[in-house]
């Protein structure tokens, strides 16, 4: 991913989609799940959308490797997948 610009851009676009999805969550749901880092998800979406050239490739990779699996598990539990 680090050397593949198309894959990197695709990952960033998916982060934007995730961030947009979080923005649309019902506020009562967000409040009831305070252990989730909603503010960080939204902030990262904003960083990608507004400061593309300030994005750290290593930070993106860290999020993919260490944060996305937990978010995916949370979503699957809530959707009963």
- Total number of domains in the chain: 1
Mean pLDDT score, 4-11: 92
Q: Which residues are catalytic?
A: 45, 50
Rounded to an integer, the average pLDDT of 73-79 is: 89
- Decide if pLDDT at 81 tops 60: no
Taking residues 29-56, report their average pLDDT. 92
37 HSE (CA, 13 A, CB side): 10
> Which residues are within 8 A (CB) of 56 and not within 5 positions of it... i.e. 6 or more apart?
none
pTM of the model: 0.85
Split at pLDDT 50, 70, 90, the class of 52 is confident
Q: Tell me the per-residue pLDDT of 11-40, one tens digit each, with 9 for 90 and over.
A: 999 999 999 999 999 999 999 999 999 999
Range of the domain at 11: 5-79
């Amino acid at each position: 991913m680090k050397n593949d610009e198309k894959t990197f851009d695709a990952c960033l676009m998916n982060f934007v989609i995730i961030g947009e999805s979080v923005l649309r969550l019902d506020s009562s749901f967000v409040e009831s799940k305070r252990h989730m880092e909603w503010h960080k998800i939204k902030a990262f979406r904003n960083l990608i959308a507004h400061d593309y050239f300030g994005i750290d490739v290593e930070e993106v990779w860290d999020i993919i490797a260490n944060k996305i699996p937990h978010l995916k598990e949370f979503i699957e539990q809530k959707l009963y997948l």
